[in-house]
Amino acid sequence: MKGDLLSLRDLDENEILSLLDLSLFLKNQYREIGSNSKCLNGKILGMIFQKPSTRTRISFETAMLHLGGHAINLSSNELQLSRGESIEDTAKTLSLYVNVLMARVYAHEDIEKLSNFATIPVINGLSDLFHPCQILADLQTILEYKQKLKGIKLTYIGDGNNICNDLLLGCSKLGINISVATPVGFEPLDWITDIARTESKRNNSCILITSDPNEAIVDADVVVTDTHISIGKENEIHSREKLFFPRYQVNDDLVKFAKKDYIFMHCLPAKRGKEVSPSIIDGPHSVVWTEAENRLHVQKALLLKQLNPQ
């Protein structure tokens, strides 16, 4: 096995928990002694970007540097992909030069092609269907603030997008109760929900998919949202704003139904005044900066597991 991570579907409960344990260890180690590791000395990460990136690019590049390795940024416009070379041939070629690939793509089928034809590990840095690295960081953040995962309630408000999909998979595998509130027609895909429901039954947790955000957020320990207009959906901005705003905005009125000690998370970038009010994302319940920092430590743990598994 190459150890690809295309979604949290690729990891079982023990593998997720092992990654979180290692990530927490690396975070504490970094704060105590800094970044002097040479664990990945001589290893190279190739990073393909079809989409803009802040946290994904910088966290992966920094992670490799902290571990003694090196990262190469490969814009799709700089590769022969821009001149018609196939993803299959690109995967085979890059496998000859680097030790692991991370790609941030528009279509999930592109990351699947990379996985199928590369002979090295492939990591999904984001696709239209999944965002596993972000959700691993989210789960770590929840564990840090709530001291447990199993049995808590997470509520996701907004578009049934890649964040929502991997949250469903991750929460259901770890026994987290998850409620999702989206406008009708924007629910997560049925086949993803079906997988999550099967996992949740195994772990005695609950899944609710509803169009009512007030129903979804009742007694939530964790409240999560994301932009209502993902990259690639800009042509839908006006129609989406009419559907999502203001009913699906996380604001002071909505969070009154959550638990008093709830935490708020957002993968960023955030549009204040749209999917979330400034009083929430900049308020005392927000943990978005811890969540953003944890991207770095999760990437380190993932790279170590893939490239230095002993």
Sign, CA dihedral 140-144-149-152, equals negative
Q: Average of pLDDT values for 15-37?
A: 92
Residue 1: pLDDT band with limits 50, 70, 90: very low
Tell me, yes or no, if 66 is annotated catalytic.
no
- CA–CA gap between residue 38 and residue 43 (Å, rounded): 10
Out of 9, 138, 226, 240, pick the active-site residue.
Answer: 226
pLDDT for the residue 19: 97
Residue 310 has pLDDT above 60, yes or no: no
Residue 79: pLDDT band with limits 50, 70, 90: confident
Out of 1-5, 72-76, 188-192, the most confident range is 188-192
The domain ranges of the chain are 8-131+294-307, 134-291
- CA–CA gap between residue 152 and residue 288 (Å, rounded): 19
Say which CATH topology domain 8-131+294-307 has.
Answer: Rossmann fold (3.40.50)
Tokens standing for residue 200: 């949740």
Per-residue pLDDT of 204-250, as tens digits, reads 999 999 999 999 999 999 999 999 988 777 888 888 999 999 999 99
Residue 166: pLDDT band with limits 50, 70, 90: very high
Out of 164, 266, 267, 299, pick the active-site residue.
Answer: 267
- CA–CA gap between residue 254 and residue 3 (Å, rounded): 41
Class of domain 134-291: alpha beta
Say whether 134-291 and 8-131+294-307 share the same fold: yes
How are the residues of the chain apportioned to helix, strand and coil, as percentages rounded to the nearest 5?
45, 15, 40
- CA–CA gap between residue 3 and residue 196 (Å, rounded): 21
Out of 295, 297, 299, 306, pick the active-site residue.
Answer: 295
